[in-house]
Structure 1
Amino acid sequence: MAALGTPRGGAAQGEAPGDPLPGDAESTHNGPRVAAGASGPARFVPALHAAFDPERALASAAFADRWYRAPGNEGYEATLEHLAARLREAGFGEKPGLELRIIETEMDAPAWTPKSASLLLHRAGTEPELLHGFDEPADRDRVMLPINAPSADVSGPAAMRLSDVEDGSLFVTLQPLSRNILRRARKAGARAVLSAAVFPFTVDPSGGDRHLDAILFRTVAAQTSLPVGQISRRTFDRLGGLVDAGVPVLLTFKAEVELREVPLRTLVAAVVGSEHSDEAVAMASHVQEPGAGDNASGIAGLAESAVNVAGLIERGELDRPARTLVFIWGDEIRQSSVWLEHTARKAIAGISADMLGQSPARTGAIALLEREPDPGALAPLPPDAHTPWGAGEVSEEDVANPSGLNLVARTALSDVARFTGGWTTSENPWEGGSDHDVFLEHGIPGVLIWHFTDYTYHTGLDRMEMLDGEELRRSCTAVLATALAVADPRPADLERYLTSLEFERELRVGAAHAAGEGEIVEHWERWSAGAARWLKRLCW
């Protein structure tokens, strides 16, 4: 492998630029083949992987997982302070070349913090039974309150169908808490709506029934006044069975929430570039949302990575990159907009670091690269396939400005797999929904590195036991290796990139020919030519 201290533009003495990484395992990536070699992201993988401390990263993730994190709320603020303290300890904001700042902007609505909630079942001749409840922010049932749910103290008979709702009923449903459902339930006289809705993919991959205890995390509109809550499918089935059997079912639903007028804070750290400090590669990981995988793992992993890069540079084990590396933590999507609005630097690329640490064995999720919009988003052809998240809307205009960022990120996944002795990864065409969209909307290349399909996604089951420290280590190594390869490119990187790009072009064009998709053939030819030009500009 090329030494990390190698002068810009060349390989280490005695090594060829194309020599593969040690580790000697083929990448198990469902996607285009990547040429083996020690250039590009491979220059950074060994040091990044060695420096990453999974236990330290998981400790930060565990701190964040103690809180129900919503924009600007108590848990969000506590987590930001924890991250900032970790960064300051490493010298950010104090040592030359290590910047740290907090950007304050206006909140669209008051910060919402849940304090407690309970759902009690009353039956004649028995003590009230607690079906769901929490009174500490770390309690598992905390997500029974959607973000923006109001405080409540209501009782009434359970109605399992909207047609059965009468004045004073608590409507219990499998339908999501949409504005339409809330409006209709209120009109029918419901005192509250309790939803057991989950995603179609919220299914235990082991064949068991763990998913029946999943409570969906969601958000309702600010200023929602009708009491609302989430329950598990197991609870829904039990209540439905009692009602169907003619047993009188009386429910009491209580909720206490706190609203505060505060600014929205976004935390930004930077490793200042050595040559082009006015240009930046940005990585964003969102703090809000209460899951361990989504996204305590991402924020903790990105903080660990920022600290490690600073330490490697200080110890002389890594050259300071030519361009600046920027690390962003805040409210998903808005955080990247906030940084772009408040920076004088030119963003060269953006990477969304989201859901990085899920255990494939325990959740069913694997590491994925979501590419920026390319012809695969116009017509997915084998080996491409969309995830259950679903395809985003893409036009021909959206794929008219190719870059090579997809390929650099794919190469990083492959290099981590080879170095670590094997790692199952895949990729999907652009679907959207995270911070890479913000960069794309500004004409900046952007990708998402994430894990899916996770059956615990956006449910109360997404807790620390679903994380894997080594998986987080691999994912974060790939994120940072991608960023460094763009921030500190070398001419010797280009040959490997162009070889890999030709592998992709042959695969994509061949699949399009086989499907009789002549226009897609042309799109991929144009995309490949444009990506080659981008990579040449990057490396020369």
Structure 2
Amino acid sequence: MEMGRVISIKRILLRQGIVPALLCLSFLAGCSQQPEEKPVDYFELVRPEFTGQLAYETTDFVEDYWRVVGNTGFNKTIHLIADSLKAAGYVLEEKAKTGDRFTYRIEKRAMSRQTWEPVSASLQIVGQEMPLLLSQTNRNMTYLNSASTPKEGIKAEVVWVKSVEDMESASMKGKVVFAEMSARKLYKNAVKNGAIGILTYDNPGYLQPEKNTTSIQFRSLPSQYDSDFWGIALSYEAKEKLVAQLKTGTTEVLVKIETKRYPSEELTIVADIKGSELPNERLVYSAHVQEPGANDNATGVGTQLEMAKTAAKLFGENKIAFKRTMTFLWGDEIVSTNRYIEENPERAKGIKWGISLDMVGENTAITGGTFLIEKMPDPSAIWTRGNDKHSEWGGDVLNLEDMKPHYLNDFITSTFKEQGEFANWVVETNPFEGGSDHTPFLRADIPGLLLWHFTDQFYHTDNDRIDKVSQETMKNVGTAALVSGLTLVNSSTAFALEQISLLEQKAIDRLQTEFQLSVNAIKNGNAIENEKAILEAWEDWYVKAISTTSDVVSKSNGDIKDAIKESQSRVSLKSQELIKKLKTSSKN
């Protein structure tokens, strides 16, 4: 019997719950594979337990605070997580006994800069009765790192800078500078020329500012300790009112700001479920605490916490096992994840997968957009066409050397699609763009991807509050993310075979799709060599991705080696066939 046929039989038997060891027959001479347990249906176990209630309640608590590393809201969030983990059965690491499998720790580090938090703020055009902005309704109005004004406020003339070129000639000393541009362009010039503060408007189009007229997207100044400089970001409505007043002549504003700047410490919380067989190999989930919104990223914090609690409950009921270690990390975006990887090289060697939860609880009927899985770099981040689309966040065009072939893309996508079909929930993907906790994994050559939503018309604005959050969405994301993680940490031969099969089918589907796109592109004048390069890039990506399935089994596993070679061969043959057809079609 040919090897391809053997592999097909294995797949059929696996789907029926029959152990692969039954295939150790005469046609597989030398087969030494040990029997495996019947595959566990993790969806069946997780779905009844993961309700989204803890995720939602945690989000509701966390989003009350304007969170930045070291401040009150950030630290209260860390301690809330710690209390919830303890209640779920996790033991503080320093008090843990040798046999304790569920532990957590709070890492404390000195901060080289002071932390910051807003208290109150108001902006009023002198001569007008009603304030232009109040922090009670626009909590993002005060720039991060702004100083306080005197208690009675500061009254000053507004200088309207209409372009970068105008900055050099504008008289700013002792005045407030207003511009419709980013603070990065304005700040240094304003400070250098003696301005006391800035007013800016810079809301991108995807926020639909003319519809969401009161939204303010949060902004920041560089860290400053001795300076009295401050900044206020404007909503579309406030900007229009200010511009109308400025057009009438000299305009003064009264600004009152109260903020806190004080020494603090950076807190990171890490929870581990220790693996029983391969404890040094691990999956790391990461959710950042800082940023002031509900969806961004209180939902990631809450969803990940309920995942940790659900995992503990199922283990305590002897329904699941952990062959490898599962780690949950909460901290400062990118910084904490990057440190977790870099500060312990030996630990980092064992990180097999990284999954970032960022903006995972959206009520898309209100916020817009959809749930997305941001893939590891594949050729869609070089040639973005067909059904592949970047989000409004956008991404740079990558190069072939930036590719990260791995089974994680298609495994995670297929798992989430299964939950999507079950719950009538839309799951999409986007090419790699970066900007969250998945990037440190990728920089360290660790497979990592992002779970998120976009477009969100309230992204980074003070309208990103609990009323934009969906418990049902967090339930779906958390369920699929935990099922994915349980499958990965317990993966072995059966998983590898399933992924080889999945990847081969996905590769052939992708090659077919790209072939048709290339046929149309050539008809529209594109060079055949360019189109051939696209097909070859996808072939190369999937051939290499198929080879990564061996990372969950012994290096000596002959069945997996043979399965990989046969699958790779079929993918390459399909690619060659389509490239040949492409050349033929281009001549007609």
TM-score range, shorter chain: 0.7 to 0.9
Q: Which residue pairs with 1:251 in the alignment? A: 253
Q: Which residue pairs with 2:101 in the alignment? A: 97
Deviations 1:36-70 (A, max 9, x none): xxx99x93223222211323221110110110000
The separation in 1 between residues aligned to 2:511 and 2:398, in whole angstroms, is 19
| Aligned partner (choices 199, 206, 210) of residue 204 of structure 2 | 199
Local SS of the residue matching 1:222:
coil
Q: What residue ranges of structure 1 are gaps of 5+ in the alignment?
A: 1-9, 19-38
Q: Which residue pairs with 1:141 in the alignment? A: 138
| Aligned partner (choices 371, 376, 382) of residue 380 of structure 2 | 376
Q: Which residue pairs with 1:65 in the alignment? A: 63
Local SS of the residue matching 1:201:
helix
Q: Which residue pairs with 2:370 in the alignment? A: 366
Distance 1:140 1:81, change over 3 A: farther
The separation in 2 between residues aligned to 1:511 and 1:155, in whole angstroms, is 63
Distance 1:109 1:428, change over 3 A: same
Name whichever structure is richer in helix by fraction. 2
Deviations 1:514-540 (A, max 9, x none): 335222211211111111111243366
Matched, 1:122 2:126: yes
The answer on whether the counterparts of 2:105 and 2:269 sit within 8 Å (CA) in structure 1 is yes
Matched, 1:533 2:547: yes
Local SS of the residue matching 1:529:
helix
Within 5 Å, give how 1:5-154 maps onto structure 2.
16=16, 43-93=41-91, 96-123=100-127, 127=129, 129-134=130-135, 139-152=136-149, 153-154=153-154
Relative contact order (C-alpha < 8 Å, sep 6+): which is higher? 1
Shift, 1:287, TM fit: 0.1
Distance 1:11 1:499, change over 3 A: closer
The separation in 2 between residues aligned to 1:140 and 1:311, in whole angstroms, is 40
Deviations 1:9-43 (A, max 9, x none): x999997259xxxxxxxxxxxxxxxxxxxx99x93
Q: TM-score, normalised by structure 1?
A: 0.86
Amino acid at match of 2:294: A
Q: Which residue pairs with 1:475 in the alignment? A: 477
The answer on whether the counterparts of 2:504 and 2:546 sit within 8 Å (CA) in structure 1 is no
Matched, 1:294 2:288: no
Q: TM-score, normalised by structure 2?
A: 0.79
Amino acid at match of 1:460: D
Distance 1:302 1:394, change over 3 A: same
Q: Which residue pairs with 1:275 in the alignment? A: 277
Within 5 Å, give how 1:346-365 maps onto structure 2.
346-365=350-369
Deviations 1:277-314 (A, max 9, x none): 11110000000000000000010110011001000110
Deviations 1:481-501 (A, max 9, x none): 222221111433344433332
The separation in 1 between residues aligned to 2:322 and 2:396, in whole angstroms, is 34
Shift, 1:476, TM fit: 1.3
Amino acid at match of 1:295: N
Local SS of the residue matching 2:131:
strand
Shift, 1:265, TM fit: 1.2
| Aligned partner (choices 161, 177, 196) of residue 183 of structure 2 | 177
Shift, 1:192, TM fit: 1.4
The answer on whether the counterparts of 2:143 and 2:230 sit within 8 Å (CA) in structure 1 is no
The separation in 2 between residues aligned to 1:261 and 1:78, in whole angstroms, is 16
The separation in 2 between residues aligned to 1:289 and 1:243, in whole angstroms, is 33
The separation in 1 between residues aligned to 2:514 and 2:14, in whole angstroms, is 42
Amino acid at match of 1:203: Q
Local SS of the residue matching 1:254:
strand
The separation in 1 between residues aligned to 2:14 and 2:230, in whole angstroms, is 69
The separation in 2 between residues aligned to 1:241 and 1:430, in whole angstroms, is 42
Distance 1:108 1:521, change over 3 A: farther
| Aligned partner (choices 478, 497, 507) of residue 499 of structure 2 | 497
The separation in 2 between residues aligned to 1:446 and 1:438, in whole angstroms, is 8
The answer on whether the counterparts of 1:165 and 1:185 sit within 8 Å (CA) in structure 2 is no
Shift, 1:507, TM fit: 3.6
User: RMSD in angstroms over aligned alpha carbons?
Assistant: 2.5
Q: Which residue pairs with 2:576 in the alignment? A: none
Q: Which residue pairs with 2:564 in the alignment? A: none
Within 5 Å, give how 1:212-227 maps onto structure 2.
212-223=213-224, 225=227, 226-227=229-230
The answer on whether the counterparts of 1:417 and 1:423 sit within 8 Å (CA) in structure 2 is yes
Local SS of the residue matching 1:51:
coil
Amino acid at match of 1:387: S
Local SS of the residue matching 1:312:
helix
The answer on whether the counterparts of 1:218 and 1:458 sit within 8 Å (CA) in structure 2 is no
The answer on whether the counterparts of 1:392 and 1:432 sit within 8 Å (CA) in structure 2 is no
The answer on whether the counterparts of 1:144 and 1:215 sit within 8 Å (CA) in structure 2 is yes
The separation in 2 between residues aligned to 1:341 and 1:190, in whole angstroms, is 41
Q: Which residue pairs with 1:457 in the alignment? A: 459
Local SS of the residue matching 1:50:
coil
Shift, 1:369, TM fit: 0.5
Deviates further, 328-337 or 192-201: 192-201
The answer on whether the counterparts of 2:381 and 2:431 sit within 8 Å (CA) in structure 1 is yes
The answer on whether the counterparts of 1:213 and 1:234 sit within 8 Å (CA) in structure 2 is yes
The separation in 2 between residues aligned to 1:397 and 1:49, in whole angstroms, is 40
The answer on whether the counterparts of 1:62 and 1:292 sit within 8 Å (CA) in structure 2 is yes
| Aligned partner (choices 231, 234, 239) of residue 231 of structure 1 | 234
Q: Percent identity?
A: 28
Deviations 1:381-435 (A, max 9, x none): 2221111111135332221x52111111101211211222x21111111110111
Q: Which residue pairs with 1:28 in the alignment? A: none
The answer on whether the counterparts of 2:146 and 2:230 sit within 8 Å (CA) in structure 1 is yes
Shift, 1:113, TM fit: 1.7
Local SS of the residue matching 1:416:
helix
Local SS of the residue matching 1:212:
coil
Local SS of the residue matching 2:133:
strand
Distance 1:464 1:385, change over 3 A: same
The separation in 2 between residues aligned to 1:236 and 1:88, in whole angstroms, is 48
The separation in 2 between residues aligned to 1:278 and 1:251, in whole angstroms, is 60
Deviates further, 404-413 or 105-114: 105-114
Amino acid at match of 1:368: L
The separation in 2 between residues aligned to 1:418 and 1:494, in whole angstroms, is 24
Matched, 1:416 2:419: yes
Q: Which residue pairs with 2:35 in the alignment? A: none
The separation in 1 between residues aligned to 2:459 and 2:44, in whole angstroms, is 31
Local SS of the residue matching 1:102:
strand
Q: Which residue pairs with 1:314 in the alignment? A: 316
The answer on whether the counterparts of 2:141 and 2:218 sit within 8 Å (CA) in structure 1 is yes
Amino acid at match of 1:390: G
Matched pairs, number: 494
The separation in 1 between residues aligned to 2:357 and 2:126, in whole angstroms, is 45
Distance 1:50 1:237, change over 3 A: same
Shift, 1:116, TM fit: 1.8
